[in-house]
Amino acid sequence: MRKVYLDNAATTPLLSEVREAMMPYLGDIFGNPSSLHDWGDGARDAIGHARTQVAQLINADPDEIIFTGSGTESNNFAVKGLALAQQAKGKHVVISAIEHFSVLHSARTLEKWGFEVSEVPVDIHGVVDPDDVLQQIRKDTILVSIMHANGEMGTIEPIQEIARITRERKIPFHTDAVATVGTTPVNVAELGVDALSLAGNQFYGPKGVGALWIRKGVRIMPLLDGGIQEEGRRAGTENVPAIVGLGKAAELAKTHMADRIKRLTPLRDHLLKELPGRIEHVVVTGHPQHRLPGHASFCVEFIEGESMLMLLNSKGIAVSSGSACTSRALKASHVLIAMGLSHEIAQGSILFTLGIDNTNEDIDYVLETMPPIVDRLRQMSPLYAKFSKTVKGGK
Amino acid sequence: MPIYSEKVMDHFMNPRNVGEIKNPDGVGEVGNPVCGDMMTFYIKVKDNRLEDVKFRTFGCGAAIAVSSMVSEMAKGKTLDEAMKITPRSVADKLEGLPKQKFHCSNLGAQALNKAIKDYLSKEKGGRK
């Protein structure tokens, strides 16, 4: 059976070049980077090299990169650490309604700690309006955190415009760029933000490693106390092989970015255009143009996402869904609801996130496999039966 | 390990008794799309037995498998026997359901129950 992996937003595979770069650090070069002998030197040099590779990917200074254990940790660190460091100036934080749980739930924790959090809405395409951010900003606002792109529906947000607002008011601005770094050009100088999260497993690096970029001079409170690793901002012995892998993946992403985008965009557009053409009552979620290169997301009406996912899996195709049933919390995706979709429609969420291994044939296989699956589930669906009766009754 | 048992997968991939009964003796609908699962059961009763049971389900793999299993368990049973089908007995027959799915997706017994009650109330009221 054909196997087609279209869940790269969940995680990308590890490139063989990345694995090769990591191998020595799972072997002979095992030293602790904090050690002062030769063993430590080797590991320390490797981390320094990776720091430069990651910095170059986002046009930053290597000293501004803090390695973390994941995108989630980077987001927790940024939201809580920046808020705590600025709390003498105020206790108000602005986020958007479509943030990843690692930002959203960090903000909830801040509320428990006595901070106030305002949420900026999004439009039907999932776009944050910078004017809405401006409206939420108060005298005591000490942090704005708005994601660069949403992994669930692919929309890229107007970060530069929002940064203009925050810079004028000298409010630290963090962006969760886990979905964009390594897949689209990200230049921290151009974006104008003060802190930015990224994760290795989004661009063919290893899992369990991420980074937070933080502009020089911006204060942050460490979440982990201990030794002076990462200049005392993130204690704990470094995950050297993973950091090396992240660095290598960053270098490869920079080298191949233009080619990858050129290859993925037409595949994405083909899927975005063709799927709603072949199946009735399918809506594209997210912005039609301003979206991640390999990202095609939809809601299929009258059926539920998990059952679609499972039937696609039985045909060798891996996808994700934002339906209530696929979430452990058993709630429909807050992202889709924030975009104004009804719960009923959000249940039919399905998302295809393409990677560098995907081909035209893969997309054709999806386009061929999807309609009978949707048809089969609709034949089973009481919602579809009701809809069909209404339509027939209306005639 | 996949999250679903082989039995759940079998009933999900090959659901039994999908569809609608024309002029059913009873109909039971439970759930709503907000929580993610919705089931409608249709029954045909003859001599106090469930002569036919059909269903339509909107929901996840578990919800579909549960509906299918309930329909299979109920078919041919007397009304009293069918009323004794519980979420627990359905889950057991399916060789278990993931913990988080037990409550939301395991609505089949309730929907069947509702369909039987619908039939009984019509009987009581005198059938047209």
pLDDT tens across the length of chain A (395 residues): 999 999 999 999 999 999 999 999 999 999 999 999 999 999 999 999 999 999 999 999 999 999 999 999 999 999 999 999 999 999 999 999 999 999 999 999 999 999 999 999 999 999 999 999 999 999 999 999 999 999 999 999 999 999 999 999 999 999 999 999 999 999 999 999 999 999 999 999 999 999 999 999 999 999 999 999 999 999 999 999 999 999 999 999 999 999 999 999 999 999 999 999 999 999 999 999 999 999 999 999 999 999 999 999 999 999 999 877 766 666 789 999 999 999 999 999 999 999 999 999 999 999 999 999 999 999 999 999 999 988 876 44
pLDDT of residue A329: 64
Hey, what are B29's tokens? Answer: 């609908």
* Residue-wise pLDDT tens digits, B74-119: 999 999 999 999 999 999 999 999 888 887 678 899 999 999 999 9
Q: Between chains, do A344 and B100 touch, taking CB under 8 Å as contact?
A: no
| Amino acid identity, position A298 | F
Choose the mutation target among B58, B68, B105, B106 for the interface with A, i.e. most A CBs under 10 Å: B58
CA–CA min distance A345, chain B (Å): 9
Residue B38's Cβ-side half-sphere holds a number of Cα atoms within 13 Å equal to 21
Q: ipTM of the predicted structure? A: 0.92
Torsion, Cα A360 A326 A196 A121, to 10 degrees, reads: 100
Q: Tell me the angle at which helices A38-57 and A240-278 cross, rounded to the nearest 10 degrees.
A: 30
Contact indicator for A199, A71 with CB cutoff of 8 Å: yes
Contact indicator for A351, A40 with CB cutoff of 8 Å: no
Residue A93: beta bridge partners?
A117, A143
In chain A the beta strands, taken as DSSP E runs, fall at 4-5, 65-68, 92-96, 116-120, 141-145, 173-176, 195-199, 210-214, 282-284, 295-300, 317-318, 349-353
pLDDT of residue B3: 87
Q: Between chains, do A306 and B60 touch, taking CB under 8 Å as contact?
A: yes
Strand order in the sheet with A295-300: A282-284, A295-300, A349-353
pLDDT of residue A395: 44
Burial A113-147 (b: 16+ CB within 10 A, else e): eebebbbbebeebbbbbbebbbebbeeebbbbbbb
Nearest residue in B to A377, CA atom = B58
Quick check: helix, strand or coil at residue A162?
Answer: helix
- Hunting for tokens 């776009």 — which residue is that? A127
Quote the CA–CA distance of A32 and A206 in Å, as a whole number.
Answer: 20
Nearest-by-Cβ selection for B64 from A328, A380, A384 = A380
Choose the mutation target among B21, B39, B60 for the interface with A, i.e. most A CBs under 10 Å: B60
* Residue-wise pLDDT tens digits, A100-118: 999 999 999 999 999 999 9
The distance of Cα B29 from the centroid of its chain, to the nearest Å, equals: 10
The distance of Cα B18 from the centroid of its chain, to the nearest Å, equals: 10
